[in-house]
Structure 1
Amino acid sequence: MAPIRFGIPLYPYQAIDVMGSLDVIAGSQINMLKICEDMGLISKDAHKKGMELEFYHIQDSSTGIAPMKLDLENISVFGNTTCADCPPLDYLLLGGPMPDYKMPDEMINFIKDRVAKKEIKTVFTTCTGSLVLAQTGLLDGRRAAVNHNGITLAEKLYPAVNWVKRSDKLNWVVDGNIWTATTAVTGMDMFSHWLLDQCGLEITKISLDLLGHGLRGVDGKPVEL
C-alpha cells in the first residue's frame, strides 16, 4: 500500500498546533508499532493495522529550504520541500499563526490548486490555521472553527465563512473535506477521531496511550475506549 502523505505549509505557527496533531497519528506508523512489538509493549502483529505516513513540510519557493522562526517558542525549523517541488499529497494540515499573518500568494495558489485537482482528500486546520485557510476562499460558505478568542476578528476579516460560536459548544467542525479545530489541543482530539476512523480502536488506544492522551468528543467530554 502506498504511504499516506501529509503536507504542512511552513510559516510561523505555534509549534503544538502542528506537532501535537502529528504526534497523535505518528504512533500509528508501522515502523513505530513494530518497535513496540519487539519490546513486548503491544500485542504481536498490531503493526498490520497501522499506517505508513510521510510528512512534507512545505516552504515558499522564493525562500527555498531555509530556517523559519517559530516566534512563540523562539526556535527555527526547516521544511523538506517547496511549493514547486512538493510531490502529490493526500492531506493538508494548517497550524495557527498570529491572527494577522498573511500567507504568500504562491502558498495560497498551491493550496487552491492541489484541492481543485481533488488530490487532497481532507484539509485540516488547528486554532487560527482556519484564518490562514480562509485566505484561499476555500472556507467561503462553510462552517468552520477558530480559537474562540478570535471569533470577532474572524467574522470581521472573513464574513463569508460561517464561524461557529463558543455557545455552539463544538471543539471542531467537519464540513465536507475540511476539518477545523478551535485550538491545538482540540486539534489533537480531532485527529484522534480521524485516527479511529482510519485504523480502528486498537491502534488509536496504542497511539494515545504513548502520549498519555485520552479520547475526547467534539464537546470536550471524555470518551471511553
Structure 2
Amino acid sequence: MRTVLVVLFDDVQSLDVTGPLEVFTGAEKLAPGTYRIRMASLDGGPVRTSSGLTVVPDSTLADAPAPHTLLVPGGPGARGPDPRLTDWLREHGPRAERLVSVCTGAIVLAQAGLLDGRRATTHWAYCAELARDHPAVTVEPDPIYVRDGPVSTSAGVTSGIDLALALVEEDLGRHAALTIARHLVVFLRRPGNQAQFSAQLAAQTACREPLRELQQWITEHPDDDLGVDSLAARARLSPRHFARAFRAETGMTPGRYVDRVRLEHARRLLEDTADGIEEISRASGYGTPEAMRRAFLKSLGTAPAEYRRRFRPATPAH
C-alpha cells in the first residue's frame, strides 16, 4: 500500500487538491489496498481554499503517516507559505519516495530547497518568478509537468490530474489509468512535454480585427497554403508588414503559429480518430508522413505512430 499524503494550508487552490485526489481515490477503488490517501495541515484544523471551500484534514502534519507520495498543491497560500510548513517539508520531503507538486506548490518546494539542482515547472504565470527567486532550479515553462528523479512538478490546476494519472499508470499500469481517465472523462493523460497552452492561447490575441480573424482562419484550415505571402494577401498587407505586425501583436512569428496549429491538429486526429498517418499528414498541412514525422520528433521527441500508441485511449470494451 502506498500512502499518498496531501499537504493542506489556507488559500490552497481546491482543484489542485481534489483533482489528484480523485485520481488516486479512483485507483484505490479499482484496486483496493493500493493507496492510502490522507490529508494533513500544520495544526490539523480545517483550511479554507481560495474559492471558499472548507476542507477538513485527517490529521496534523506531525501525526501524519510517512508518505510514499507527498503532494504539495498550489494556490495563493503557496506564494507566502508558513515557515513551519517549509521547515517540515525540508525535513520530511526527502524521505518520501515521490515528491509531487501541483501549480505553485513548486514554489513551496523550492523555498524548502527541494528543487535545487532539478528541472521543474509551475503555472505559466509564475515560471519567471520561480526562476528569478530560485536560480538553483532549472525552470521549464512550457511542459504541463516535469519529472526529475523522485520529484515531479506540474503546471496549473488541471495538469495535476495529468501527473496523477501518469503516477497511477506507473504504479498500476496503463489499463488502470485508462479506466480512471474514462471515469473522470479526461484524456488518459496528456504527455508531460505537451505545452501548457494551445496555439491560440499561447499567442496573444491580435489587436487588429483582420489579424484576429486570420488567427482563427489558420486554426480552421491547417491544410491550406499558410506561407507568409498567402497569409499576408488574406490580411491585405504586404508580406513584410504582415510578418512584423503579426509578431508584434501575437508574440510569435506567423511560421511559429502555423507550426503549433498544425502540430495540435495532427495530435487531435491521432488521439481521436482511426485515420491513417498519411491521411492525417495531409489534413494537418504537412503534405507527407515524413514531414509530419520530422515535426513530431522536433517538438515532442516521438514519431506520430508512437505518439498514437501511447496517448490514444483504447476503444472501451462492450
User: Which TM class, normalised by the smaller chain length?
Assistant: 0.7 to 0.9
SS of residue paired to 2:79: coil
- 1:109-145 per-residue CA deviation (whole Å, 9 max, x = no partner) reads 22222234x3x10111111110111110111121100
Which of 22, 45, 53 is the matching residue for 1:66?
45
After TM superposition, the structure 1 = structure 2 runs for residues 175-214 of structure 1, keeping only pairs within 5 Å, are 175-214=148-187
> Compared with structure 1, are the counterparts of its residues 91 and 200 closer, same or farther at alpha carbon in structure 2 (3 Å cutoff)?
same
Which amino acid is the alignment partner of residue 182 of structure 2? Answer: D
Task: Please list every run of 5 or more consecutive structure 2 residues that lacks an aligned counterpart in the other structure.
Answer: 195-266, 272-310, 314-318
1:115–1:94 distance in 2 versus 1, CA, 3 Å: closer
What is the alpha-carbon distance in structure 1 between the residues aligned to residue 49 and residue 152 of structure 2? 24
Whole-angstrom CA distance in 2 between matches of 1:100 and 1:20: 17
Name the CA shift for 1:172/1:163 in 2 (closer, same or farther; >3 Å).
Answer: same
Moved more, 136-145 or 212-221: 212-221
| Paired amino acid for 2:159 | T
Q: Kindly tell me: are residues 128 and 100 of structure 1, through their superposed partners in 2, closer, same or farther at Cα, counting changes over 3 Å?
A: closer
Question: In structure 2, do the counterparts of structure 1 residues 100 and 79 end up closer, same or farther at CA, with 3 Å as the change threshold?
Answer: closer
RMSD: 1.9
TM-score norm. by structure 2 comes to 0.58
Contact in 1 for aligned 2:6/2:40 (Cα 8 Å):
yes
**AA paired with 2:82?**
P
Amino acid at match of 1:218: G
From 63, 67, 78, give the equivalent of 1:89. Answer: 67
- Structure 2: how far apart are the matches of 1:191 and 1:51? 17
**1:8-43, CA deviations, whole angstroms, 9 ceiling, x for partnerless residues?**
1111211111211121222111xx23xxxxxxxxxx
Q: Provide the TM-score with structure 1 as the length reference.
A: 0.80
For 2:35, which of 33, 36, 53 is the aligned residue? 53
Contact 1:17 1:96 in 2 (8 A): yes
Residue 6 of structure 1: CA displacement? 1.1
Taking the aligned partners of 2:47 and 2:118, their CA distance within structure 1 comes to 31
**Which of the pair is proportionally richer in helix?**
2
Q: Distance between the aligned counterparts of 2:127 and 2:93, measured in 1?
A: 26
Q: How many pairs does the alignment contain?
A: 197
List runs of 5+ in structure 1 lacking aligned partners: 34-46
1:137-166: CA deviation from partner (whole Å, max 9, x where unpaired): 111121100111212222222222111133
The residue that corresponds to 1:18 in the other structure is 17
1:203 and 1:51 map into 2 onto residues whose CA distance is 14
| Residue matched to 1:174 | 147
Task: Work out the CA distance in 1 between the residues paired with 2:140 and 2:155.
Answer: 9
d(CA) in 2 for partners of 1:95, 1:213: 20
CA distance in 2, matches of 1:140, 1:98: 22
Q: How does 1:107-122 map to 2 (within 5 A)?
A: 107-116=85-94, 118=95, 120-122=96-98
Q: Which amino acid aligns with 2:48?
A: K
Matches of 1:65 and 1:122, distance apart in 2: 23
Q: Describe the superposition over 1:159-196 as per-residue Cα deviations: whole angstroms up to 9, x where unpaired.
A: 22111133xxx211111110001122122112211111
- Residue 6 in structure 1 maps to residue 25 in structure 2: no
Tell me, in whole angstroms, the C-alpha distance in 2 between the residues paired with 1:141 and 1:204.
30
